Amino acid sequence: MTDAAGTIEAEQNRNIRKRWLLSLPALLIILVAATGPLLIVLLYSFLAPGPYGDVQWLPSFDGWVGVFMEKDIFDGTFSLASAHVSIFMRSVMLSLVTTILTLLVGFPTAYFIATRPEKTRELWLFMITIPFWTNLLIRTFAILEVIRNEGLINGLLLKSGLIAKPIQMLFTDGAILTGMVYVYLPLMVLPLYASMEKLDFRLVEAGYDLYATPFRVLRKIIIPLVKPGIIAGSILVFIPALGAYVTPSILGGGKNMMLGNLIELQFGQGRNWPLGSALSITLMLIVMVALLVYVRNAGSQGSRHG
Amino acid sequence: MKRITGILAVTAALLATTGLARAEGELNIYNWGNYTSPEMIKKFEDQYKVKVTITDYDSNDTALAKVRQGGSGFDMVVPSQNYIPIWISEGLFLETDPGKMENFGHVAKEWQNPEFDPGRKYTVPWAMGIVGTVVNTDVYKGDINTWGIIFDTPDELKGKVNVVPEMTDVIDAAVLYNGGKKCTGDLTVLKKVRDTLVKAKPNWVAMEYGTIQKMGSGDFAASSDWNGSAFRQRLANPAIKFGYPKEGYVNWSDNLAVLKDAKNVENAKLFQNFMMDPANAGMNSGFHRYANGIAGSSEFMPADMKGAPEINIPAEFAAVGVPSQTCPPEVQELYTKIWTELQK
């Protein structure tokens, strides 16, 4: 008996070892290609800036202090870095609003696809992924062509005589949001569809049989069941939106900085790589906090239902 | 039959690639995008049997950061004059001594011994220009030769002004507008500069690089801009004019240098000499639409560039131009702070 147990245990150990060995290349790539550069960024954030870009190999906390505090250049007083705070807030707000809007548009879209006959679903999904074939920059410029003063919409409205002067749509907050929602929508629809596909529509029918209103069915049956999809989609949209700066600067006119622009400035004309590195790490920390909040919410939901 | 054609095509392709590999040399140039005449490069390739490869960059800082890391594989680079002292002091250039090259006599007098490269030990002029204003004179009829277009925007232009987001250019313009000196560290001037910028910004519609297209399409009615860009805009719409700000404007130049770790040094030297030939410099200007600092090259430029008010500085405005130069790191830091506050 004990012998048999020993053999099984040895067999299991061998299996575990084999699995580790097989995943070793992947782990190495993750370690070298993902963690390595991050460590360099972390290291740079604790060095002094070189006079014309690059870093000097002197330990310094100026980069990190610069993220949160600023010395007024005119009266020399120290205060909270209000410029950085307002840029952070702008990026976070934009990401939040983008996430909410993509959810509002993406949810009915995913529901629509999931309720089509099985044969046509693939076609609909395929159509959702078509924009992914084109580069982000080109998609953004396409929107620009549609909404600019001599663009498609203004052209049609002017020709039809509905307006006398072109409506200023480009370079507004509305333009930025339209672009962001358009660009990130597939990232919301795909995970939502994945969980809706698994949804047992007999439960929905049962809800109706018991005289639930459509809104109640949505709130009590559909949303709780597709919650993992909602969470996954929101994460997938929120995180890249935080770092987005191409879309806001092309459609918004680039008058106000996003986090991405602020970081880029430090590595370019600002010539302050340590500050840029510290800002990048700060951005990552925000993303991690956001992830933790999501994950914890998801976890507690799961246990309640389990 | 189809198959035979296919085999022939493959063979031809193979022959073509070996043909390239057998060219007598190579030259890798790292330059600003949309800045090198393909026709002129073809001429150089044919003349010296050298295969030229051009790679683009979009800012001086990008080029500097990339080359500084070493192993870039480039032979030549074309930085702006205010960055050249940095390149030289960091030992990134090879001393090729263009001042002693055969064609050096063609370099215009005022560009033979510039402050940024005394005696032309490293660099050869590529292009030079001015940062000023462009205005659509159908929209605004007043004086366009002032930074007031950008900083005290007239009513007709409010909400239609763009500012090209080159940090140093914009802040320098505001410094000159407030009577200061370029690269000033004087805090009383810089405070005025900050206030001027913050007050002016609500009248701007955007801060973008794409002026040629958007001035043409009417998305902008005025902008800060480079003169070569203004020239191209006027060709598309004669109402668009270039303004020389009377408060002072910055003259810049981009210059061709050989990198210390270049692999094709001889070809690179040939190319430096080639660029000082008026015929070649003129051909290049016909493409990038800027002046080039080579005397006698205007003969070889397209007819529309001769006497163009953007390229030939009117005598009355020549005196207020100031040369572009490197700001000291501590001034750059002040500029960055003002810039961040402007765009927060």
Residue B247: exposure state from Cβ atoms within 10 A (0-12, 13-18, ≥19):
middle
Contacts of A54 in chain B (CB under 8 A): 65, 68
| B84 is a domain residue | yes
| B20 is a domain residue | no
| B21 is a domain residue | no
My answer on whether B244 and B157 are in the same domain is: yes
Residue A91: exposure state from Cβ atoms within 10 A (0-12, 13-18, ≥19):
buried
The CATH homologous superfamily to which domain A81-305 belongs is MetI-like (1.10.3720.10)
Delimit the domains of chain A by residue range.
81-305
My answer on whether B47 and B172 are in the same domain is: no
* β-strand pairing of B123-136 with B249-258: antiparallel
Q: How many CB atoms lie within 10 A of CB B30?
A: 22
Phi, psi dihedrals of residue B258, rounded to the nearest 5°: -100, 140
**Best interface-test mutation with B: which of A55, A69, A73, A267 has the largest number of B CBs within 10 A?**
A73
Tokens of B184: 């000033």
Contacts of B64 in chain A (CB under 8 A): 52-53
Cβ contact A149–B218 (<8 Å): yes
| C-alpha distance from B159 to closest chain A C-alpha (Å) | 10
My answer on whether B134 and B95 are in the same domain is: no
Contact A171, B206 (CB under 8 A): yes
| B17 is a domain residue | no
Helix ranges (H only) for chain A are 2-29, 36-44, 62-68, 82-114, 118-129, 136-147, 152-159, 173-198, 201-209, 214-217, 223-243, 246-252, 259-267, 273-305
The pLDDT score that the predictor gives to residue A192 is 95
My answer on whether B148 and B215 are in the same domain is: yes
My answer on whether B36 and B185 are in the same domain is: no
Report ipTM for this prediction: 0.81
Residue B260 contacts A, CB cutoff 8 Å: no
The pLDDT score that the predictor gives to residue B17 is 45
Structural domain boundaries, residue B35: 26-127+255-305
Q: How many CB atoms lie within 10 A of CB A172?
A: 16
The pLDDT score that the predictor gives to residue B59 is 87
- Report the alpha-carbon distance of residue A270 to residue A268 in Å, rounded: 6
My answer on whether B177 and B205 are in the same domain is: yes
Q: What is the mean pLDDT of residues A202-206?
A: 91
**For residue B342, what pLDDT band results from cuts at 50, 70 and 90?**
very high
Q: What is the mean pLDDT of residues A217-227?
A: 92
> Which contiguous run of DSSP H or E holds residue B196?
helix B187-200
Task: Supply the CATH number for residue B32's domain.
Answer: 3.40.190.10
My answer on whether B245 and B136 are in the same domain is: yes
Q: What is the mean pLDDT of residues B78-92?
A: 94
The pLDDT score that the predictor gives to residue B47 is 95
In chain B, how many domains are there? 2
Q: A123 pLDDT exceeds 80?
A: yes
The reply to whether the predicted model has a pTM over 0.90 is no
